Amino acid sequence: MPRRVVLGTALGGAAAAALSGTAHAEQSAQALPSDGAGPAAEGGRHPWRLRDTMTGDGAWERFLRGQDLRWARLPALWHEGPFLGDGLLGSMIYQEPGAHQIRFTVQHGRVQDHRPEFGSGWGTCRLPVGHLTLEPVGTITAVDWRLSLWNAELAGTVTTTAGTLTLSALIHDEVLAVRARAGGAERVVWTFRPEDAVSPRRISEAPPSGYTANPPWTTKTAADGTEQVLQPLTGGGQTATAYRRTGDDLLLGVGHSFPSDTAAEAASLRNLRHATSYGTLRRRHIRWWHGFYRKSFVSFPDQRLQSFHWIQLYKVASASRAGGPVMATSGPWLEPTPWPAVWWNLNVQLEYWLIHGFNHPELDALATTLRQNQEQLTANVPEAYRADSSGIGRSSDMFADRGVGRPGTGAETGDLTWALHNVWLSYRHSMDEALLRDTIFPVLRRAINYYLHFLTPGSDGKLHLPSTLSPEYPVVPPQDTNYDLALIRWGCRTLIESARLLGIDDELIPRWQEVLARLTPYPVDENGFMIGADTPYAQSHRHYSHLLMVYPLYLVNWDQPESRDLIAKSVARWHALTGAHRGYSYTGAASMYAMTGDGDTAITYLRKFFDPTTRFPCRANTHYTEAGPVIETPLSASQSLHDMFCQNWGGVIRVFPAVPSAWADVTLHNFRTQGAFLVSAVRKAGATRFVRIRSLAGEPLRLRHGLGGTLTALLDDDTPAHTEDLGDGTLAIDLPRGREVLVHSGSRPDLVIAPVTLSEPGPAWGLPR
């Protein structure tokens, strides 16, 4: 499929487009206008249309230029350098270790081994492909590089003792394209260096018993001069890398096939034939990216964090596409790591949250992965339960191939259910019934069924769960873990709601209702939520697995006055025990405090992730590493910002619920929420000026607007909207599908969407001067 033809789709549509071609995707793109401002009323009358200053290429180029990453010295490590990607092929650019050369890594999200008998760490792990080196004649003395977000292109110069090299690079349609020109006594020399097809996990452990290495690669030259490296795999399949140099241009493509031992060879050549030249590929490339960014807009006055936020959108679009492989822990940029697979007990969930608010459902590879691998999810549970159950273990390949243990053995059981919460969010943000019918309901039904086999009544009359693991908490797994109790409650509620929405009279509805009525309460002590029954939270824990009912499930939330003290002391206790905390510990706390409306505490926790004195801070290029690359934490930091700007849970859209007091001005435009609404809002001098909402699905609208005084709510034909004051600053508004409503107080404000003035300047990301 060509590069992301599914640009405008909703999630179920994206999955269908990935399977059936481009027509559905193009139709869906037309059905969901990117500006959300088309006249919705009969006759097209729209007297108060927003004045969007971010419509032309010039405005976008100027704004995103201020968010670009810059380099004034050669990056020495992967987490310092530029990065490129198209959702499948990825490259990071940094110094070749031990040499005055520049490495362009060549890695691909589909390239993996196919020997499940050796587990996800070795047998079905991501496999390295290789890297290009640009080899100057002289010694490198300086670089001047810019990674343009607007064009998704690296451009700049390399200065050496012999002269200069001027280069530009991009990735599109599974082709890495680089243009390099030499000045002075310099010359352009490229070498492709294949890497051994062995698990990157070898940095931390030896291969398992019985493991044999994959065969060595071979090379060949096609009739047109294209070079190929062919990597056969012991477990079947093939990886092929094809590259050719024409004038100043070098084009490189990667193909992977399984079970075919030859199809990758043809695919890599086909990718190059479609590219033809750097200029040809670049025209298609920038057309895609320029359309991509226009789907939403956010601006706030902290330069460093604003740039970071936009870089994460660029990053996730470089790393994922619907119909492609679900992101592994490193995304498409594979480096030596103990985690060369997909991790399901937190990583994959955090990777995809930010796409919803940014209004980019077409990036959701998680939903399509679960849809397309339902048979594997069934095969993952012990054979005795496959008739009605599904699950997934902690880590897997891109096909979700990993068995799950039985409750009662201390197994980690709930990861599939948590991943399905992400897919539920995709449904709620798109209201695509196909996604609910074909993926969420059948897979969640089987995931909850697996739990139901093991729930047993206790002497107290309550239903209890035998020992399961609360992800990564380092003690003997307890009974009644809060991680699993929260997921069971959410799953049963969601199944009942889904059956109602789909008109299904499911025979299990009484059982789900019984579980909700009789399931044992969450274990709690004087410090708040425990890990599980008889297991207090007593050791520092980077994960918030025991707090899922608070975030992101919102089953226990700040709108429940009786829950506030419990939430507050649970989060405080979690962070009082330090030592094991990592980057996502801070982003998780920031989102939890944002739920309470405390934006100043939320931003304090979020800034810990950017504090270079912490053990595991955000890196120079906004990536993150612990023992290896871990992509989810920076992406979750963007979701924490979203949670400060606009929350949507419990059936209520909350505009500017937890903006830090230092950020007096914020602009949101076409922020997508649950119910398939597009929200635009402007905050100036610390006060909300207006909120505009467009309904894409005709769902009930309840808005916590943050406005004071007498309210005005006008539809897009300038007639008053029918509203009901629900109290607590919440307004119910009748808003039909395809219509818009403007809410403001006092006289009508200027309805302008524009970048805000920066009040907190900061350096560019990368390695600037």
Residue with tokens 């914020």: 666
Burial status of residue 367 (CB atoms within 10 A of its CB: 0-12, 13-18, 19 or more)? buried
Strand locations in 57-174 (E)? 69-71, 83-85, 89-95, 102-108, 130-134, 140-148, 153-160, 163-172
Instruction: Write phi, then psi, for 181 (nearest 5 degrees).
Output: -130, 145
User: Which residue pairs from 512-516 have beta carbons closer than 8 angstroms and sit at least 24 positions apart in sequence?
Assistant: 512/448, 515/452, 515/455, 515/463, 515/488, 516/489, 516/492
Whether the CA torsion 337, 338, 341, 342 is positive or negative: it is: negative
Strands 752-753 and 51-52: parallel
Nearest to 237 by CA among 253, 219, 255, 220: 255
Amino acid identity of residue 566, one-letter, is L
CB 81 within 8 A of CB 94: yes
Task: Say what the pLDDT of residue 474 is.
Answer: 86
Q: CA 502 to CA 557: how far, in whole Å?
A: 27
Find the helix packing angle between 509-518 and 441-452, rounded to 10°.
50
Count of CB atoms situated within 10 Å of the CB of 23: 10
Distance of alpha carbon 482 from alpha carbon 84, whole angstroms: 40
Cα separation, 196 vs 232, in Å, equals: 11
Q: What is residue 342's DSSP assignment?
A: E
pLDDT of residue 7: 36
Handedness of CA 626, 631, 633, 637 (dihedral sign): positive
- Residue in this structure with the two tokens 């818009």, named with its chain if needed: 740
The pLDDT, as a whole number, for residue 22 is 27
**Tokens matching residue 542:** 């980077």
Where helices occur in 476-557 by DSSP H, the ranges are: 482-502, 509-518
Dist CA 1 CA 420 (whole Å): 26
Position 45 scores a pLDDT of 67
Distance between CA atoms of residues 226 and 209, nearest Å: 39
Name the token pair of 221. 């030259």
Q: What pLDDT score was predicted for residue 662?
A: 97
d(CA 63, CA 86): 22
Domains parsed from the chain with CATH numbers = 70-293 (2.70.98.50)
- CA–CA gap between residue 236 and residue 124 (Å, rounded): 12
| Mean pLDDT per 10-residue interval, the chain, length 769 residues | 40 39 30 42 70 96 98 98 98 97 98 97 97 98 98 98 98 98 98 97 95 96 92 97 96 96 92 94 98 98 98 98 95 97 98 98 97 98 98 97 96 97 98 98 98 98 97 91 98 98 98 98 98 96 96 98 98 96 97 98 98 95 96 98 98 98 98 98 98 98 95 96 96 98 96 97 96
Q: Residue 166, by phi and psi: left (phi above 0), alpha (psi -120 to 50) or beta? A: beta
Q: What does the DSSP assignment read for 263-330?
A: HHHHHHHHHHHHH-SHHHHHHHHHHHHHHHHTT-EEE-SBHHHHHHHHHHHHHHHHH--TTSPPP-TT
The pLDDT value recorded for residue 20 is 31
Cα–Cα dist 190/182, whole Å: 12
The confidence score (pLDDT) of residue 46 equals 81
Query: How many residues can be counted in the chain?
Result: 769
pTM given for the model: 0.95
Query: Is there a contact between 24 and 16 (Cβ–Cβ < 8 Å)?
Result: yes
Using CA atoms, how far apart are residues 665 and 473, in angstroms rounded to an integer?
A: 41
